[in-house]
Amino acid sequence: MNLIYDIGNTTNKLAIYDRGVKVFSVRTKQVCCEDLQKMISPYTITKAIISSVKDLPEFIYDLISVNIPKVHILNNKTSLPFRNEYKTPETLGPDRIAAVAGAYYLYPGRNVLVIDAGSAVTYDYLSGKSYKGGNISPGLNMRFKALHKFTDKLPMGSAIEKYESPGRNTIEAISAGVINGLVYEINEYIRNFEENNIDAVVLLTGGDGQYLRDRLFHKVNYQPDLIFDGLNHILEYNAKES
C-alpha cells in the first residue's frame, strides 16, 4: 500500500492507495503526531510520497520514515514520467506537477488543460509527453479578500449559491463580480485551448472545483482526486526507477 501526503496552503490531504485504487482519504486543517499515527496504523504501507507547498514539518517526515520503508519527498529533482519544459523547475509548485502527473496518468499522450481551483487557480498544459508550463491566477477566496483588504469600505464577500447580476446591493455586486469574473476567465482559457488543440481534454480539480464546475459554459472532466492520483503515479514511477 502507498501513503500519499499532500500539504497545501490551507489544508492537509492524506490518502492511501492499494494497487492503484484509493482506499482511504482525509482532509484536515492540521495534523499532529497522534492523529497521523492513528490514521495510518490500520494499513500495511510500504511506500510513501510527501508533497508540500510550504516548509515540511520535521515531525511528519520523521514519523512517516520511521514506520514506512520507502519515503519520497516530491521536489524538482524527482523523476517524472513526462518531459518537464518549465524553465525554472526549482520554482514549480509540487501541487502543479502532481496535477499534471495525474492528467498524464489518466490521459496518456493527450493534450490536456489542467485547471486547479484552490487558493490560487492554476492553468497547466500537457501536450502528449511534454509539460509545457502554465499560468497562475488568484483563487475565489483570494479575490474576495483582496477587495475587502485593499479598500476602505467594501465588505468581505463569499462564494454564495445564488446572486443576481448585475448586483442590486454591494454584497451581491461583489459576489457577482468575483464569481462571474473567475468563471469568464476559466471559460476563455477552455475556449482558447479547445480551439487550438486536437484531441483536447479539460480537467478541473481543487477545493473550489465542484462549486465552479456547474457554472462553466464548457464541459470539463471534474477530478477531485487528480493530485492524489498524480502523486501515486509519481511514487510508483520512482519505485520502478530505483
Reading the chain (242 residues) residue by residue, the pLDDT tens digits are 999 999 888 888 999 999 999 999 988 877 667 777 788 888 899 999 999 988 877 777 787 888 788 999 999 999 999 999 999 999 999 999 999 999 999 999 999 999 999 999 999 999 999 999 999 999 999 999 999 999 999 999 999 888 889 999 999 999 999 999 999 999 999 999 999 998 899 999 999 999 999 999 998 999 999 999 999 999 999 998 76
Question: Does residue 44 sit in the same domain as residue 164?
Answer: no
Question: Does residue 37 sit in the same domain as residue 82?
Answer: no
User: Looking at the domain assignment, is residue 232 inside a domain?
Assistant: no
pLDDT of residue 170: 96
What backbone torsions phi and psi does residue 211 show, to the nearest 5 degrees?
-65, -40
Q: Is 95 tagged catalytic?
A: yes
- Expressed as residue numbers, the domain containing 134 is 76-227
pLDDT of residue 113: 98
User: Looking at the domain assignment, is residue 235 inside a domain?
Assistant: no
Question: Does residue 68 sit in the same domain as residue 101?
Answer: no
Residue among 6, 187, 4, 205 at smallest CA distance from 94: 6
Residue among 39, 2, 42 at smallest CA distance from 18: 2
pLDDT of residue 240: 86
Question: Got the DSSP string for the chain?
Answer: -EEEEEE-SS-EEEEEEETTEEEEEEEES---HHHHHHHHTTS---EEEEEESSPPPHHHHHHHHHH-SEEEE--TTS--SSEE--S-GGGS-HHHHHHHHHHHHHSTTSEEEEEEESSEEEEEEEETTEEEEEEEEE-HHHHHHHHHHTSSSPPP----S---SS-SSHHHHHHHHHHHHHHHHHHHHHHHHHHH-TTEEEEEESTTHHHHHTT-SS--EE-TTHHHHHHHHHHHHHHHH-
Note whether 143 and 154 are within 8 A (CB).
no
Question: Does residue 118 sit in the same domain as residue 208?
Answer: yes
What backbone torsions phi and psi does residue 216 show, to the nearest 5 degrees?
-85, 150
pTM of the model: 0.92
User: Looking at the domain assignment, is residue 211 inside a domain?
Assistant: yes
pLDDT of residue 184: 98
User: Looking at the domain assignment, is residue 237 inside a domain?
Assistant: no
**Which of 73, 99, 123 represents a domain boundary (last residue)?**
73
pLDDT of residue 17: 97
pLDDT of residue 242: 65
User: Looking at the domain assignment, is residue 188 inside a domain?
Assistant: yes
**Which of 20, 54, 73 represents a domain boundary (last residue)?**
73
Query: Which of 18, 62, 95, 199 is labelled catalytic?
Result: 95
Question: Does residue 95 sit in the same domain as residue 106?
Answer: yes
